[in-house]
């Protein structure tokens, strides 16, 4: 019996090793299957993550940089009396405001076409190329009158000159900036401008303008 026990013990060692190896192999196969399933599911997740990061990267590209032909040219204030304001600008900064009346062939304001106009003046101030615009609304509903009524005389907008007006307006609108007024100007100053209410995003209104063009696109009329 002792010989049989010795023989069995000698044989059971290799058998245990084979069983262990078989279990290890089965575990490896199972682990491989799990890994493949995770990889396949993970591939879909990877694509989702790649797309989710790719779209914001496009949105974060500069919309109003000099690379895209955009330059900040002025800032504007809205006042109730441009004549009185002109005296203060002269005494404070030594600049003279030549006042004219803005003329437009059409103006769109908050989803409706309106008849609105203003007195306006530009004057150089500060660094080379920077100007101040002083605006006094004098008739009709407008974003000038809206902010003047809400805030009193105050900063109205930053002006950004562009070389592709319609495309820039569209890019800003698609990027979530709210278009509130757009107009085709004629007469003394020919060109197009658009106001975007970006106060929630940057704390100010943006004006997009392009001089010398006379065919900017009209927005559709929508209900308020």
In order along its 224 residues, the chain shows pLDDT tens digits of 444 444 445 445 544 544 544 454 555 545 445 544 544 554 444 433 343 444 444 445 678 877 666 899 999 999 999 999 999 999 999 999 999 999 999 999 999 999 999 999 999 998 778 999 999 999 999 999 999 999 999 999 999 999 999 999 999 999 999 999 999 999 888 999 999 999 999 999 999 999 999 889 988 755 34
pLDDT at 16: 52
pLDDT at 220: 72
Q: Give percent helix, percent strand, percent coil of the chain, each to the nearest 5.
A: 45, 30, 25
pLDDT at 188: 81
pLDDT at 18: 41
Instruction: Dig out the tokens for 211 from the structure.
Output: 């001089």
Alpha-carbon gap, residue 206 to 80, rounded angstroms: 21
**Which position has the token pair 């103006």?**
107
**Nearest Cα to 126, choosing from 151, 93, 152?**
93
pLDDT at 222: 53
Where b means 16+ CB within 10 Å and e means fewer, 2-38 reads eeeeeeeeeeeeeeeeeeeeeeeeeeeeeeeeeeeee
Helices first, then strands: H and E counts in the chain = 5, 10
The two beta strands, 117-124 and 204-211, are unpaired
Query: In which element (H, E) is residue 91 found?
Result: helix 82-93
pLDDT at 159: 95
Alpha-carbon gap, residue 184 to 218, rounded angstroms: 9
pLDDT at 191: 95
Contacts of 195 (CB under 8 A, 6+ apart): 143, 157, 179, 180, 181, 182, 205, 206, 207
**Nearest Cα to 179, choosing from 156, 164, 197?**
197
Query: In which element (H, E) is residue 100 found?
Result: strand 100-101
């Amino acid at each position: 019996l002792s010989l049989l026990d010795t023989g069995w013990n000698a044989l059971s060692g290799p058998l245990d090793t084979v069983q262990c190896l078989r279990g290890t192999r089965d575990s490896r196969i199972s682990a491989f299957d799990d890994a493949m399933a995770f990889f396949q599911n993970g591939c879909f997740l990877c694509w989702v993550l790649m797309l989710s990061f790719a779209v914001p990267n496009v949105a974060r590209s500069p919309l109003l940089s000099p690379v895209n032909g955009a330059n900040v040219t002025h800032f504007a204030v809205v006042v109730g009396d441009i004549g009185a304001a002109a005296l203060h600008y002269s005494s404070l900064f030594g600049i003279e405001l030549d006042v004219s009346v803005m003329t437009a062939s059409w103006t769109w304001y908050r989803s409706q076409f309106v008849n609105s106009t203003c007195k306006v003046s530009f004057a150089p101030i500060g660094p080379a190329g920077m100007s101040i615009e002083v605006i006094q609304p004098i008739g009709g509903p407008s974003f000038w009158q809206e902010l003047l009524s809400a805030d009193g005389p105050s900063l109205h907008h930053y002006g950004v000159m562009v070389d592709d007006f319609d495309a820039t307006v569209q890019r800003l609108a698609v990027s979530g900036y709210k278009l509130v007024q757009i107009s085709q100007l004629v007469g003394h100053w020919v060109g197009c401008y658009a106001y975007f209410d970006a106060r929630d995003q940057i704390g100010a209104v943006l004006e997009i303008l392009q001089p010398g063009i006379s065919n900017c696109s009209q927005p559709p009329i929508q209900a308020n």
